[in-house]
Amino acid sequence: MYYPMYDSTFILLIPAILLSLWAQFKVQGNFNKYSKVYSRSGITGAQVAKKLLELNGITDVAVAATQGSLTDHYHPTKKTVFLSETVYGESTISAIAVAAHECGHAIQHNVGYTPLTIRSMLVPVANIGSYASWILLIAGLAFSWDPLVQIGILLFSCVVLFQVVTLPVEFNASSRALQQLSYYGILANDEIQGGKKVLSAAAWTYVAAAVMAILQLLRLIMIFRRD
Ligand SMILES: [Zn+2]
């Protein structure tokens, strides 16, 4: 039986693991830091979200609270901007930046931003691929049956593509958020800098995930070719 998890090529993943840990640390740190800084406008995350949707002429997207920390997301089929408790009702720089970022996704959806459309199409494939690829790979390597391994690698490539397409979607949502917060005067220039730090830290977690997926793919190809 062959266990790709304990292969020596695992070393390849170490930089991605370190990057991921560093990004997580940075996200928590910046989010916590600017969760203590209140905006001068006194507007809450939920109010910012509603306001930005309205200013962008989006009338069919709801804003709702959700449990947990850093669980904020835009749900395209439910057409809802979900904000975590520390974002929804708080008027901190972190809350406002995150709320505006999620609205950035709602705006992308509204204007038919191409990377978001591609990403949405890849969601089901990536979901299945993320576990089915491993089952096929392990089975393929165990029984030394190449076609199974090749299909596994192909499926995993879809996961990689999904992670890569996520990058422009996330960077674009953040740049839309900051631009709108500044343009509509929701945050002052000095406050925008804090918001920028919160969002760029979050963006690094997506970079780390993409790097991890790419290295993982590289590793799988190496294992396959050597076998
Ligand atoms: Zn996002």
Residue 65: CB atoms within 10 Å: 13
pLDDT digits (tens, 9 = 90+) for 149-192: 899 999 999 999 999 999 999 999 999 999 999 999 999 999 99
169 Cα–ligand 1 center, Å: 7
Domain residue limits, the chain: 4-226
Phi-psi region of 67 (alpha: psi -120 to 50; beta: other; left: phi over 0): beta
Contact 4, 141 (CB under 8 A): yes
Active site residues: 102
Average per-residue pLDDT for the chain: 92
Q: Give pLDDT, residue 175.
A: 97
196 Cα–ligand 1 center, Å: 14
Q: Give pLDDT, residue 130.
A: 86
Q: pTM of the prediction?
A: 0.90
Q: Which is nearest to 110 in space by CA: 48, 178, 53?
A: 53
Amino acid at 110: N
CA atoms within 13 A on the CB side of 12: 20
Q: Give pLDDT, residue 1.
A: 44
For CA atoms 79, 28, 85, 54, give the dihedral sign.
negative
98 Cα–ligand 1 center, Å: 8
Sheet with 80-84, edge to edge strand ranges: 62-66, 80-84, 73-75
pLDDT exceeds 50 at position 146: yes
